[in-house]
Structure 1
Amino acid sequence: MTAHQHQLPAALSNGTDYESLAARFRPIFARIAEGTVERERNRALPYEPIEWLKKAGFGAVRVPQEFGGAGASLPQLFQLLIELAAADSNVPQALRGHFAFVEDRLNAHAGQSQETWFKRFVAGDLVGCAWTEVGAVKIGDVITRVSRKGEQWVVNGTKYYSTGSIFSDWIDLFARRDDNGQDVIAAISTRQPGVKQSDDWDGFGQRTTGSGTSVFEDAVVEEENIIDFASRFKYQTAFYQLVLLAVLAGSGRGALRDFSAEVGKRTRVFSTGNAAAVNQDPQVLQVIGKASGQVYAAEAATLRAAAAAQRAYLAHFGADAEAERQANIAAELESAQAQVASVELVLRATSDLFNALGASATSVAKQLDRHWRNARTASSHNPVIYKERIIGDWHVNGTEPPYVWQIGGGAKQS
């Protein structure tokens, strides 16, 4: 055994008793659910719900127990996120950047102590993200820069889709160093005048995720919080996709719950129906039953893909580089396969459930359409058509999937 292997941490987040863990948070999830329709109707950001979760230690569920966290496995984390998404699908997506940064610090712990960050997570600190640039940026370029100014390192640039950052204590920001051209992650405190955030996301779904613009003007970043992007955990894209899959599965769960309740209390029937009460109409019950199966399959696919990501996490702490590589390939492919299945299943379920009710189901007051709108929006990230091609390329040609991708301006066509 090498000296480096002796330094590997014994504390890994390999799982805990799920029912005990979930019991801590289910009362909060129920409380969050109570205000979801009103927040959706008024486009009110979920500051209070996120604060409830923060104080309850939700952001530290993946932190090893030895450092004060829950030590949850990845399947357990994503099962929790599905439950939370059923209450309000905006909230887990708002926490997407946080859990990704936690995951990165968990992986970094293989080579160095991350106790400082673990303590922050346990204390309730949340991390947002700011990666995407808009405008004239081309594929492969990074406009946001980290540079030296006097005795300090500062960040200047503008990011869009800054999901969750408006609720956060820190921002996980993708940038490029001016001195050496290296791509880095800058972990920036939001408690400074150089960080300005706006809630200007204008999508028709997932409207309260805090996914707007972040502007950085000489925002100070400590040198120890400038992290080489090449060291980022390798299954990161699978992880980000898994959060969206949890959002999808939870949206399906929420839709199934709400439509079932509406069917159960509906008194008006159609003359073309099959029973004197809607809740006894076999065709209506079939609609609910089919949606239940679709949501079940989406959730099962998500948790199976989460198990692959957990294996990649554990492989990072082993001494077998090829085993880790294969685990990362599996994590990426399985998250993509689950995406292909879940998008179709949940979009179909959240649309077809309207067949169980009349036109009154389209009432803005009820906000039943939010489930489809939110699922459609979450499904639009990381285009599924490209994931299908990547999966096919692996099966046919053995081509390893990409672990990082970007969006930006392409070459002009003649």
Structure 2
Amino acid sequence: MSQRDLVPALSAGADYEQLAARFRPIFERIAQGAVERERTRELPREAIGWLKAAGFGAIRVTVSHGGAGASLPQLFELLTELAAADSNLPQALRGHFAFVEDRLNAPAGPQQDLWFRRFVAGETVGNAWTEVGNVTIGEVITRVRPHEGRWLLSGHKYYSTGSIFADWIDVFARRDDTGGNVIAAVRAHQPGVHLQDDWDGFGQRTTGSGTTVFEDAVVEAENVIDFATRFKYQTAFYQLVHLATLAGIARAAERDAATQVAARRRIYSTGNAPLVRQDPQIQQVVGQISAQAYAATAVTQRVAQAAQAAYEAHFAGDEALEKRANIAAEIESAQGQLVVSELALRASSDLFNALGASSASAALALDRHWRNARTVSSHNPLVYKARIVGDWAINGTEPPYVWQIGASPAAPATA
């Protein structure tokens, strides 16, 4: 039996238009409520429910297990379309798709089959990795300990994106017995899990990125997973969700600019045409926004191709090939971040150059595009990503695949 015979069926792609047709009516419904949710800070529970019921969370699951078998470029194109409808939704599902990706990379067997069945049934996974407060960088206070054949999890997490909507939570923790780092997949709906919607950012306000407290939350033994086995292109994957979100924001800016300009009846005496939509300078502004959205989408797709190559290389039986593919995915995601962040920020700001002062009305909530783009772009600091890319280009220094944030050991102790 050859190595090829041992490789499982992979999620290498589906008919994109047929796949997208399943979800575009849902995206349209989501878009219709986006402004009101923004104005009232209403969490998109109903919208997440529509996506779950339609099988959106299983699009990467292999066809043989009941999923759509979508490739990563197809996943991120769908997330870009979803972000154009409401940019909070892809980020709320970021932890879910990362956990799905990890299970896709896991060894075949009963546990993988079980998770695939859960995804196909509509169950989703949230995220709880980051600890805040006086936690030294590299330190993990959230702990799991064995107890009567199961494990108990205790700790505090913030930036728990999507967990408030999820059935499970992907928790980064440390074992009490060995000190090893693990992922604990925890059922969200149990007495030991307490979720709060206390994210106070000025953008991406309805992603459910608040605090989660675990107090002896029960974890089944098979759901305590060695972190060392986590899929290697995970950081690139997480960043790709942000790239798709930013590309979607740029598309939304293009859509809203064109719609608002086409509908305008008032003109400036200093303008160039009897109607704003005929004004060549305004057409130029909207054309620039369109080009920014196009470029953001194209870069995101190029990065997604690199991630797909890393996924497929995992099953090729060639360690050197897999390492090269993982490096490429990481470097390209960083390069993409540097470019797409600027494109989305420019598009969401240029939007106002095409419109009058009335575009600042809170009722339109057009400012949400810039606020959301600025918030997403603040993840994974751009300056550090630029340095990592530069170090690779100059010195061939391998990029880091996992990074952390925490209190500096050199900082003065707080009272």
TM-score interval for Structure 1 and Structure 2 normalised by the shorter chain = over 0.9
Partner amino acid, structure 1, of 2:360: T
**Is the contact made by 2:253 and 2:289 (CA closer than 8 Å) also made in structure 1?**
no
**Aligned position for 1:24:** 22
**Aligned position for 1:353:** 351
Q: Distance in 1 between matches of 2:296 and 2:375?
A: 16
**Is the contact made by 1:8 and 1:111 (CA closer than 8 Å) also made in structure 2?**
no
Choose from 173, 180, 183 the match for 2:181: 183
Q: Write out aligned runs for 1:345-384 (5 A).
A: 345-384=343-382
**Aligned position for 1:324:** 322
**Is the contact made by 2:163 and 2:209 (CA closer than 8 Å) also made in structure 1?**
yes
Secondary structure at the aligned position of 1:114 is classed as helix
Q: Distance in 1 between matches of 2:398 and 2:10?
A: 28
**Is the contact made by 1:8 and 1:110 (CA closer than 8 Å) also made in structure 2?**
no
Q: Distance in 1 between matches of 2:410 and 2:111?
A: 47
Choose from 104, 107, 113 the match for 1:115: 113
Q: Distance in 1 between matches of 2:149 and 2:393?
A: 52
Q: Distance in 2 between matches of 1:395 and 1:10?
A: 35
**Aligned position for 1:127:** 125
Compute the displacement of 1:173 (Å): 0.3
**Aligned position for 1:406:** 404
**Aligned position for 1:287:** 285
Secondary structure at the aligned position of 1:176 is classed as strand
**Aligned position for 2:56:** 58
Q: Write out aligned runs for 1:11-410 (5 A).
A: 11-109=9-107, 114-410=112-408
Compute the displacement of 1:259 (Å): 1.4
Partner amino acid, structure 2, of 1:319: G
Compute the displacement of 1:295 (Å): 0.9
Secondary structure at the aligned position of 1:173 is classed as strand
Q: Judge which range, 151-160 or 102-111, deviates more.
A: 102-111
Q: TM-score of the superposition, structure 1-length normalised?
A: 0.98
How much is the aligned-residue C-alpha RMSD, in angstroms?
1.3
User: What is the aligned-residue identity percentage?
Assistant: 69
Q: Distance in 1 between matches of 2:279 and 2:364?
A: 22
Compute the displacement of 1:9 (Å): 4.4
Compute the displacement of 1:11 (Å): 1.4
1:118 to 1:136, Cα distance in 2 relative to 1, 3 A: same
Which of structure 1's runs of 4+ aligned residues deviate more than 4 A?
110-113
Alpha-carbon displacement from aligned partner over 1:372-399 (angstroms, at most 9, x marks no partner): 1111100000011100000000000000
Alpha-carbon displacement from aligned partner over 1:95-130 (angstroms, at most 9, x marks no partner): 000000000000003688610100000000000000
Q: Distance in 2 between matches of 1:122 and 1:94?
A: 18
Structure 1 segments unaligned to the other structure (5+ residues) = none
Alpha-carbon displacement from aligned partner over 1:146-187 (angstroms, at most 9, x marks no partner): 012344310000000000000000000000000000000000
Partner amino acid, structure 2, of 1:122: V
Q: Distance in 2 between matches of 1:238 and 1:349?
A: 24
Q: Distance in 1 between matches of 2:139 and 2:401?
A: 17
Secondary structure at the aligned position of 2:174 is classed as strand
**Is the contact made by 1:188 and 1:219 (CA closer than 8 Å) also made in structure 2?**
yes
Compute the displacement of 1:60 (Å): 0.1
Partner amino acid, structure 1, of 2:165: F
Q: Judge which range, 181-190 or 349-358, deviates more.
A: 349-358
**Is the contact made by 2:7 and 2:316 (CA closer than 8 Å) also made in structure 1?**
no
Q: Distance in 2 between matches of 1:111 and 1:340?
A: 39
1:233 to 1:111, Cα distance in 2 relative to 1, 3 A: farther
**Is the contact made by 1:148 and 1:154 (CA closer than 8 Å) also made in structure 2?**
yes
Compute the displacement of 1:135 (Å): 0.8
Structure 2 segments unaligned to the other structure (5+ residues) = none
1:7 to 1:175, Cα distance in 2 relative to 1, 3 A: farther
Q: Judge which range, 251-260 or 392-401, deviates more.
A: 251-260
Alpha-carbon displacement from aligned partner over 1:347-406 (angstroms, at most 9, x marks no partner): 011101101111100000000001111111000000111000000000000000000000
Compute the displacement of 1:263 (Å): 0.4
**Is the contact made by 1:110 and 1:316 (CA closer than 8 Å) also made in structure 2?**
no
**Is the contact made by 2:149 and 2:221 (CA closer than 8 Å) also made in structure 1?**
no
Compute the displacement of 1:8 (Å): 3.6
Q: TM-score of the superposition, structure 2-length normalised?
A: 0.97
Q: Distance in 2 between matches of 1:237 and 1:390?
A: 13
Q: Distance in 2 between matches of 1:281 and 1:385?
A: 39
1:154 to 1:7, Cα distance in 2 relative to 1, 3 A: farther
Alpha-carbon displacement from aligned partner over 1:61-100 (angstroms, at most 9, x marks no partner): 0000000000000000000000000000001100000000
**Is the contact made by 1:9 and 1:110 (CA closer than 8 Å) also made in structure 2?**
no
Provide the aligned length of Structure 1 versus Structure 2.
412
1:186 to 1:413, Cα distance in 2 relative to 1, 3 A: closer
Secondary structure at the aligned position of 2:42 is classed as coil
Q: Distance in 1 between matches of 2:221 and 2:148?
A: 13
Partner amino acid, structure 2, of 1:363: S
